[in-house]
Structure 1
Amino acid sequence: MTTAHPLSQALTLPNGATLPNRIAKAAMSEALGSVDNRVTERLATLYRTWAAGEAGLLITGNVMVDRRHLGEPGNVVLEDRRDLHKLRAWAEAACSGGGQVWMQLNHPGKQSPRMLNRDPVAPSAVPFRKDLRGMFATPRALRDEEIRDIVQRFARSAAVAEAAGFQGVQIHGAHGYLVSQFLSPHHNQRNDAWGGDAERRRAFVEAIYHAIREATSPSFCVGIKLNSADFQRGGFTEAESLAVISRLAELGIDLVEISGGSYESPAMANGGKVKASTRAREAYFLSFAETVRQTVSVPLMVTGGFRSSEGMNQAIASGATDLVGLARPLVLEPDLPQRLLAGESVTSLVKPVKTGIRKVDEMALMEVSWYTRQLARMGRGKPPRTQDRGLWSLLEVLAVMAGQGARSRLRAG
């Protein structure tokens, strides 16, 4: 390795922690938890494979802070220390390549499917758009005491993660989940301490950040995944996102990962619907990162769209981002970071996976289900496939989800 390649340079975070290089595995929901949402050995197997690729930072998929509210079957839920030994095995496997591992913490809010949750919650009782109401029930508005309980759940989960050997956590504040819902004027129509204007809408994420800091040591890293915008009429805008980032930077956050979209407007998965100028630079949210960089100096991570070594190195060299976030490329090629750090000229094998069913493909459901299947293979110690039949994958994943959802409801009942 040589520092002639920007990706191979170390990065020191505000709390003093150092990442050995500028490549990060971004969060993907592994769906490898047990039927009762506990840690399994498959997670250690999967992350040991990624660790061998030598990325500087591995961020787990969304670990839920409340077992009553799941985003999907197979989520891991972390409410207490009963699985501490399995969590330690997961963290040790993920750190075996010399990088750090952070746990992404999440609450789905209204984005909890009917098959898992008939009583979803949100800042306000705002339903999904009509074509998604069959999949998601209309949420009820959270009470003040429930909001405060969720804040403490994030802090408790972070403390357990630290005890297990994870070096940090990432608050999931993007993609339409609960933190993102609180930030959005479309989803948050409250008029109390938790909503009513932009400052009060961000009170929830600030409370979570403060609670995590109080529950963990100064050397423990705290980051956030945040939408640049949610791309909905009347929703969270780039100006509001910049204000949130500026505030969190003032509070001392260690890393901000920039993404965008939600289930209703999945910008994070619509790789084919981007401007030519964006496609040329590869990363979907790099322009917004440059805007952020002009305002604050907080370390930034941009995820989504990176495919070539040239595009990744240029993004770091330009100063627009400090970390390159890779997700799907590391499913198909877990060793890709090694090759990038060695200075090879490479291009990812990622390409769209389609069913031929327009509505399914527009929702990006096929993309998610296909990659979920590959994570399951890797969790069993098998290599990922690089090509597959899209429609068959969709049908298989839907069958698995329906079965897991039914079992989860039975256990919850």
Structure 2
Amino acid sequence: MLFDACTIGGIHAACRIVRSATFEGMADAEGRPTDKLCHMYEALAEGGTGIIITGMIAASRLEPHQHHQILLDDDSCIAPLMAVTQAVHDKGGKIIAQIVLMGSAIMVPEGENRIIVSPSGIPDKIGRAQQESQALTIEQIQRLIDDAGQAALRARKAGFDGVQFHGAHGYLASKFLTPYYNQRSDEYGGDLMGRARFLRQCIASIKKTAGSDFPVWVKLNCADFMKEGGMTAEESLQVMHWLADDGISAIEISGGNTSSLPRKGPIRAIRRTKEPMYFAPYAEKAARELQGQTDVGVVGGWRSASEMEEFLDAVPVSFISMCRPLLRQPDLPNRWRSGDTEPATCISCSRCFGDTDVDCIFHKTGEEA
């Protein structure tokens, strides 16, 4: 089942292995993809990954963008990205653009506008630093919603097979869902329906602007895992039901944010629990409830083809995502497909992550574990 040709979230794929979005830090000074980034995606496609999701791409000039981040904030971004999609398609792969509105989770802000925005101006903890921000006005919210739609249209023109809107990990849409960070008293705050309004309107803008036939995925926390004031698992499941009602093509389940955990990012920090497949129970519940309504997939701690096969056989999930193992072994899916089913050699040290030129530490040092 893992290596059966299939359709996931409206996209035909050679297998059910998805490369989860990973911020690579491989844009040039103008926010255009470098040859190194293009070669990374090309290697993933050649290595047998069914669908590649890019690292987060900035959608709006209203807010800063990350250092070395790819941009889709105006039409001049389209042509450079066509080389990326063409390279992946030439290797038989599929590629989705992950578009993001950053909010206060940004680490190294750059761009024309250095003013960091958030739902309510609540200080955010990024690593060991405290991030200050300004509360968004209604006019700014509408601008960001429109910008998300325009970025998706540019992604379509650049040849991407779909888009994934980043609604997880403490970025702006995720912050709107989190009671601690969203203390607004207008229609974008209050109860869960109000807090989910921004995310849902971004999705509606994307579908309207890029076309209703263009696949639109969402990455969503199964829970925020905060000590207090976080979105709960029950609330997340309700949001998933609303997204399914809104016609979302697929939901990728992740969890945590920059403030709920002791290190810089959710996946890296949750990994410290040493538990494999740590979001699987949440994905199982969601997949069973949403079966027949939208495709559900899961990321987090997957290292074994046999465990992935077992989960796919037992649970109606449509795909399983990986990130770190494919940094170390971009040909891992083909190796598994050929019959060599030894688990991934990734040791989950998370030393691959950084602000620029993301790669496995063993590639960087030339060592082997």
Shift of 1:371: 9.0
Q: Which residue does 1:306 correspond to in 2? A: 302
Shift of 1:99: 2.7
After superposition, what is the alpha-carbon deviation per residue over 1:250-276, rounded to whole angstroms, capped at 9, x for unaligned? 11111100001111224421355437x
Return the alpha-carbon distance in structure 2 between the equivalents of residues 286 and 71 of structure 1. Answer: 32
Return the alpha-carbon distance in structure 1 between the equivalents of residues 123 and 128 of structure 2. Answer: 11
- Residue identity matched to 1:369: G
User: Does residue 369 of the first structure (1) align with residue 369 of the second (2)?
Assistant: no
Q: Which residue does 2:258 correspond to in 1? A: 263
CA gap of 1:388–1:121, structure 2 versus 1, over 3 A, is farther
User: Does residue 332 of the first structure (1) align with residue 328 of the second (2)?
Assistant: yes
Return the alpha-carbon distance in structure 1 between the equivalents of residues 278 and 273 of structure 2. Answer: 7
Return the alpha-carbon distance in structure 1 between the equivalents of residues 352 and 33 of structure 2. Answer: 25
Equivalent of residue 194 in structure 1, options 164, 188, 193: 188
User: Does residue 158 of the first structure (1) align with residue 152 of the second (2)?
Assistant: yes
Return the alpha-carbon distance in structure 2 between the equivalents of residues 387 and 71 of structure 1. Answer: 33
Q: 5 Å matches for 1:14-413?
A: 15=10, 17-67=11-61, 69-70=63-64, 72-113=66-107, 116=110, 119-129=115-125, 132=126, 135-232=129-226, 233-266=228-261, 267-270=266-269, 272-274=271-273, 279=275, 282-297=276-291, 298-353=294-349, 366-369=351-354, 372-374=357-359, 387=367
After superposition, what is the alpha-carbon deviation per residue over 1:230-262, rounded to whole angstroms, capped at 9, x for unaligned? 111111110111011111111111110000111
SS of the residue 2:278 aligns to: coil
CA gap of 1:59–1:74, structure 2 versus 1, over 3 A, is same
More strand by share: 2
CA gap of 1:237–1:386, structure 2 versus 1, over 3 A, is farther
Return the alpha-carbon distance in structure 2 between the equivalents of residues 259 and 386 of structure 1. Answer: 31
Shift of 1:67: 4.0
Of 31-40 and 48-57, more deviation after overlay is shown by 31-40
Q: Which has the larger radius of gyration?
A: 1
More helix by share: 1
Q: Which residue does 1:393 correspond to in 2? A: none
SS of the residue 1:368 aligns to: coil
Aligned residues: 360
- Residue identity matched to 2:249: D
- Residue identity matched to 2:354: S
Return the alpha-carbon distance in structure 2 between the equivalents of residues 257 and 133 of structure 1. Answer: 25
Q: Which residue does 1:407 correspond to in 2? A: none
After superposition, what is the alpha-carbon deviation per residue over 1:320-369, rounded to whole angstroms, capped at 9, x for unaligned? 5221101010010010011122333121111143xxxxxxxxxx7x4523
CA gap of 1:262–1:272, structure 2 versus 1, over 3 A, is closer
Contact 2:352 2:361 in 1 (8 A): no
Return the alpha-carbon distance in structure 2 between the equivalents of residues 219 and 340 of structure 1. Answer: 33
Identity %: 31
After superposition, what is the alpha-carbon deviation per residue over 1:184-232, rounded to whole angstroms, capped at 9, x for unaligned? 1111110111111100111111111111111123431100000011111
- Residue identity matched to 2:242: R
Shift of 1:385: 5.5
Contact 1:193 1:200 in 2 (8 A): yes
Return the alpha-carbon distance in structure 1 between the equivalents of residues 199 and 338 of structure 2. Answer: 39
Contact 2:66 2:108 in 1 (8 A): no
SS of the residue 1:199 aligns to: helix
Contact 2:152 2:206 in 1 (8 A): yes
Structure 2, unpaired ranges of 5+: none
CA gap of 1:371–1:31, structure 2 versus 1, over 3 A, is closer
SS of the residue 1:172 aligns to: strand
Shift of 1:68: 5.3
Return the alpha-carbon distance in structure 2 between the equivalents of residues 244 and 368 of structure 1. Answer: 29
Shift of 1:386: 6.7
